[in-house]
Amino acid sequence: LTLEERAIKIIQMNAGSDLTEKLKSLDHRITPIRRHMFKFFSDNPSPVSAIDILDNFSSLGIDVNKTTVYREIEFLVKSGIIQEVEFGEGKKRYEVDTGRHHHHVICLNCKTIADVELEVDLHKEEKLIEAKTGFKVKNHSLEFFGLCPNCLK
Amino acid sequence: LTLEERAIKIIQMNAGSDLTEKLKSLDHRITPIRRHMFKFFSDNPSPVSAIDILDNFSSLGIDVNKTTVYREIEFLVKSGIIQEVEFGEGKKRYEVDTGRHHHHVICLNCKTIADVELEVDLHKEEKLIEAKTGFKVKNHSLEFFGLCPNCLK
DNA sequence: ATACCTGCAAACCCTTTGCACTCGG
DNA sequence: CCGAGTGCAAAGGGTTTGCAGGTAT
């Protein structure tokens, strides 16, 4: 699934997609705030923080308590709709779970984030690490830091 | 410099190494707590958190305020003696700065950490990313997660 | 009616700051 | 002596929890 396909799928929530059905079967409801969360994530492909969400809602005049946002995030993660990422900022970020493994490059100045897909195969490295350390490797986290085109000017 | 060499260098602090001279020239003093910090980092090659340090000091009967530990960490980072690393735990870790670029594999269960050196050259990837995204890449962070030999049993 | 959902306040964890005091060189 | 180092309390940022009240189905 591409990000676009995923976003569309999520937006379909507003009508009656299989995602709606999935939620129903899990005894989860379609509430106004949940709808706003779906909309927000479908509009924002880059990893966002809980505070980003709160600020955005606030600027739209949507009155939501931060506890609710944190709980909605938890719900969306558990449902496999979004996933957590961390860039060592002291806060968590979340992005739509496209199912495609990728990495990020983050601007040290303005925090703009772009997706990155590797050419090298880190699975080979994982095998080497297992041989060397005795660990069983489950996953990895790789992020690049630098300056975005805008901040380079 | 190998980690061992670095550790020895740090321990030499107790006598009168060039590191001592460096600190003196920077108007920095050799205090009992600072000595304990050096000792702690030379004894602990794996990344540790501020709380790890506080707990260790406490178990040794060394009475230090947490603010002091945070400020000592800040001092050691600025001096280039230790460096910060982050594993998405919501807290920072620090390890002796050996000058050699490396990565880590972290046990998801017990948090044991092992050093890892890559075979692939991520610099090539950085060049590719620059070509694709327009970012200027400055550095990266790569950590592997899995289960250590002990927790695999 | 029965879950789930929500808001509010408070607690939580990690880290930083302000201020007065102490101590090393 | 002077400036670096220290402790204490408080505040700060991000996140979680407990509990009462609200709402979708």
Q: DSSP states of A61-120 as a string?
A: T----HHHHHHHHHHHHHTTSEEEEE-SSSSEEEEE--S---EEEEETTT--EEEE--SS
Instruction: Give the up-direction half-sphere exposure of residue A110: CA atoms within 13 A in the CB hemisphere.
Output: 11
Judged by DSSP in three states, B129 sits in helix
d(C-alpha B111, C-alpha B62), whole Å: 25
d(C-alpha B4, C-alpha A135), whole Å: 23
Judged by DSSP in three states, A120 sits in coil
**pLDDT value, residue B64:** 97
Q: What is the pLDDT of residues A42-59, one digit of tens each?
A: 888 899 999 999 999 999
Residue of B nearest to A115 (CA): B133
Nucleotides on strand C with an atom closer than 7 A to protein CB? 3-10, 13-18, 23-25
- What does the DSSP 8-state code read for residue A45? -
d(C-alpha A110, C-alpha A107), whole Å: 6
Residue of B nearest to A132 (CA): B116
- In this prediction the pTM is 0.86
- Structure tokens belonging to residue B81: 């003696």
Could you tell me the maximum CA-CA distance found in chain B, to the nearest angstrom?
55
The one-letter amino acid at A126? E
The region of weakest confidence among A29-43, A69-83, A123-137, B128-142 is A29-43
